[in-house]
Structure 1
Amino acid sequence: MTATDAGTVAPDDECADLLDLAAGVARQAVGGEQVEAFVGRSSYTTVKAHGGEVESFSSATTAGMGIRVVRDHRQGFAWAGSLDPDVVAETLAEARDNAAFAQPDEWVGLADPDGVAPVPFDAFDPAVAALAPERKVALALELEAMVRGGDPRITGVRVATFSDSSSRAAVASSTGIAGASRSAWCSMGVLALAAEGDETYTGSGSTVGFGPDDLDLDEAATDAVTRAVRLFGARPVSSRRLSVVLEPRMAAAVVGLLGGTLTGDRVLKGRSPFADRLGDTIAVPGLTLVDDPTDHRSFAAETFDGEGLACRRNVLVADGVLQGFLYDSATGRRAGHPSTGSAVRGVTSTPSVGCQALAVTPGAGTHDELVGAVDLGVEVQSITGWHSGVNAISGDLSVGVEGVMIRDGQRAEPVREVTIASTLQKMLLGIDAIGGEVEWLPGGTGCPTLVFGDISLSGT
């Protein structure tokens, strides 16, 4: 741990160097000007295996800086993929030029320190970067072989991958903000191909962890094989109203949709179905939704947001009641609300408000127990048409699904070429059960199984 002259403790020497660099740029602000520098350095590897051989191996290290300059309510931004001092100086000059030509916006400005103490978090495992390339290749090939041998109906593997990333970032501003953090993760994924007669299906499996020892190849392989083979014989069923069971990875799509409607920019633009519902009951009493990057079980856990403010736990829905929205500094000023530490960004972009680590508070029961409590329903394996069939402004939802029918608590025939339709508002008020087992997904969301009642299914 190394202290910097900005008064902030950086996780390691490299983070401290980045923070010193960002702070040096911020100190160049002149009278009437605000300057912010966001700097990052990362390395990553991706291995793809196919047909028992390495299809591709890519590895790279990148570094860059994004600079914002605000003067007279005009914001200029520029970025560069280099930390060379001359390039940094040119980037600052470009950001100043861009500010001079920008349209004025009374709400624009850098974040001010708000006194919220950062929650220490450092799950950085040096074993991620230290893992030998040969081992990464071996893992991808091993996963492919496990899937190929998982079931006689598996005819191939479209791709098996190993990916990892180690990154460090720092942000400093002339308003007195300074913060640095580091992160590392690795993941594996596989897409299995299965054939029987004239039917062909695919199934995906994945595993993710903060370090190589967290990866579970057996789980990823079994998941891919199971999903590839269990839909043989699937046919449409007749239209009806029934329950819909969404496992965590499927439920996360609905949770993400909800979270996306609760951001300050959507609310201010009137593009959220919940914009005027603060304090109202919008879901069943059992549903509590938080956006909490300080939850260290999340793969999106962070110490600082994109503007350098401390990340914090934001309760969006508590026992079904809408508690609030997410803001960065700009949307917060416009709404008359302090930032919730919810700015997201990269080196190449300016901050914007967004969800970081959504999580649903668990209820009770395993996935299988929740399936067993359903009289008539469908256990969804995949969703199609999500982007075209969902209107985040109105909440309308109509998507295609594949899965397995549930009859009297038992899994029955597989089903495909059917559509479920409802609205997000009705679905939230029609949740029949919330599972007790939370799965932390690669994007950072923590979600249990969700069971929605009285959903319209359109089939034959």
Structure 2
Amino acid sequence: MSDTLIEQAALHGADAEVWTLRRRTEELVCRLGAVERRSEVATGATALTVWLEGTEGYAVQNVPDSRDPALVTAALAVGRALSATGTAPPPPPAPGPPHRIPDTPPPRLDTEAAERLRTLSTGDDGLEVELRARADRSRIRLHRAGTPPIGYDTGVVQMHTRITARGDGIGHIGHQSYGRSVPGLLDRLATEELPELIGLARLLATEPVPRLAYDDLLVDGRVLVKLLSLIVPAFQMDSVLEGRSPLADRTGEAVASPGVSLVDDPTAPDSPLPVPWDGEGTACGPTALIEDGTLRGFLSARRTAAEAGTNSTGSGQRGPGGEMVTVQPGCLLLRHTTDLGTEFRPGRTVLHVVQANGAHTSNPITGDFSIGANAVVVGPDGSRGNAGNITLAGNVFELLRNLDGHDGRTRVNRAHDSFVAGPGVWTTSLTTGR
């Protein structure tokens, strides 16, 4: 079907590229042992890019495999309007051989999955469990004039767990987890995540300790990935070119603690949503942003790479409706070489920040932040108490420079189809208060 739009563009003397998406999303909400809601929605989009006489135009419809010739005229008009803003990059070359992504069955919330979710959400007196499962199955196709179409199928499962416990007060904790297999994610939920979250919710429902005092600070991965997401724009080439990144002109300098690495790899085997190429057909692969604490590079798409005189890192992502390409990570993972374990340290009192409740203030350019959070106090003997509602404040760039080690437990945050992952970290650079 993409041939129609390519042929229409050729009638105007333009080269063209057609990107199409077909997505089917299943959602299932279970609470207190009952299925509250179940839905299945099909969506799609067609995005057309045209090149004519040094201009680049773009148009999109929220219809999969559209043949509407109005897309061509709209894209050509956009190209003419944008021509005064600068020189457009030439049409990209034919896609090279992409990385192969692992074959997995498309995720489905079938009858068996629904029954498991319903059972897991039962809870008990004083405990409310709500499970929101979502399974996305996507089919992506890209057809460029003069080349054969390419495409891939992929899918991701998302689980949002919300636990509310009642005791001396009300304890609440939420958690997002992701996977590519519904049975695998449900197994992890049942054996690991749900028991831990229920225990935390019950603890957060107890009377808070009278005084906030501790020797060491552990920031859980659930909190770290939200903080790290604040400064993702600093690692994007468009931010560098526009003067919005504090990391500009610092390639080769130490910007994090020794042993810290930050790598974006949409093709990684453990990526929740692996893709072989980005929204422009550029093959994806690992891009090292930080190696052993040293800044190595930035994420880029075709346009920003051309402006910077480099090659695209395959980080040009389209929005969920096929929107114009922007630079975004695919699966950004923070690592540290030193494993300091979780929570308990003999002879020391640890404050474990387990949940971020929202940003009071945050600045993605400076990295400054102040957020509400929940925390647990772990005594020298391993006893655990509720630290209550606290404020956690600091600077994310300063945090990267003061990571002593990790706790070995990777968590994930998601924004559209971008994922940011990292472990809990031990640090001395943040301040807390009530």
TM normalised by structure 1 equals: 0.83
The answer to whether 1:62 aligns with 2:62 is no
Structure 2: state its 5+ residue gaps: none
The answer to whether 1:428 aligns with 2:403 is no
Choose from 50, 57, 65 the match for 1:76: 57
- Alpha-carbon distance in structure 2 between the residues aligned to 1:323 and 1:374: 39
- Alpha-carbon distance in structure 2 between the residues aligned to 1:272 and 1:79: 30
**Corresponding residue for 2:281?**
308
Q: Shift in Å at residue 42 of structure 1? A: 1.2
- 1:326–1:353: 8 Å Cα contact kept in structure 2? yes
Q: Pairwise mapping of residues 95-174 of structure 1 onto structure 2 (< 5 A)?
A: 95-109=75-89, 112-113=92-93, 117-126=97-106, 128-129=107-108, 132=110, 134-145=111-122, 148-149=123-124, 152-154=125-127, 156-157=128-129, 159-174=130-145
- Alpha-carbon distance in structure 1 between the residues aligned to 2:312 and 2:177: 34
Instruction: Give CA-to-partner distance per residue, 1:309-338, whole Å, 9 cap, x none.
Output: 100110000000000111111111222222
Choose from 448, 452, 455 the match for 2:423: 448
Instruction: Give CA-to-partner distance per residue, 1:187-236, whole Å, 9 cap, x none.
Output: 33331221114x11212345533122212241342133122111121257
Choose from 341, 352, 357 the match for 2:331: 357
Q: Shift in Å at residue 46 of structure 1? A: 0.5
Q: Shift in Å at residue 103 of structure 1? A: 4.9
SS of the counterpart of 1:389?
A: strand
**Corresponding residue for 2:433?**
458
**Corresponding residue for 1:182?**
153
- Alpha-carbon distance in structure 1 between the residues aligned to 2:224 and 2:429: 16
Which AA in structure 2 matches 1:351? Answer: V
Instruction: Say how many residue pairs are matched.
Output: 425
The answer to whether 1:94 aligns with 2:74 is yes
Instruction: Give CA-to-partner distance per residue, 1:118-163, whole Å, 9 cap, x none.
Output: 210133314x24x53x334323311211xx14xx541x33x32222
- 1:403–1:414: 8 Å Cα contact kept in structure 2? yes
The 1:204/1:163 distance shift into structure 2, 3 A limit, reads: same
The 1:250/1:193 distance shift into structure 2, 3 A limit, reads: same
SS of the counterpart of 2:260?
A: coil
Q: Pairwise mapping of residues 267-346 of structure 1 onto structure 2 (< 5 A)?
A: 267-346=240-319
- 2:259–2:292: 8 Å Cα contact kept in structure 1? yes
Instruction: Give CA-to-partner distance per residue, 1:340-392, whole Å, 9 cap, x none.
Output: 11101134301011111111235243642x64279354211111332x42211
Choose from 207, 210, 214 the match for 2:180: 210
- Alpha-carbon distance in structure 1 between the residues aligned to 2:170 and 2:42: 39
- 2:173–2:355: 8 Å Cα contact kept in structure 1? no
- 1:287–1:319: 8 Å Cα contact kept in structure 2? yes
Q: Shift in Å at residue 283 of structure 1? A: 0.8
- Alpha-carbon distance in structure 1 between the residues aligned to 2:210 and 2:83: 54
The 1:61/1:247 distance shift into structure 2, 3 A limit, reads: same
- Alpha-carbon distance in structure 2 between the residues aligned to 1:168 and 1:143: 31
Moved more, 53-62 or 168-177: 168-177
- Alpha-carbon distance in structure 1 between the residues aligned to 2:35 and 2:76: 47
SS of the counterpart of 1:260?
A: helix
- Alpha-carbon distance in structure 2 between the residues aligned to 1:438 and 1:190: 17
SS of the counterpart of 2:259?
A: coil
**Corresponding residue for 2:162?**
191
Q: Pairwise mapping of residues 8-27 of structure 1 onto structure 2 (< 5 A)?
A: 21-22=1-2, 25-26=5-6
Which AA in structure 2 matches 1:359? Answer: L
Which AA in structure 2 matches 1:445? Answer: V
The answer to whether 1:47 aligns with 2:24 is no
The answer to whether 1:221 aligns with 2:194 is yes
Structure 1: state its 5+ residue gaps: 1-20
The 1:364/1:280 distance shift into structure 2, 3 A limit, reads: closer
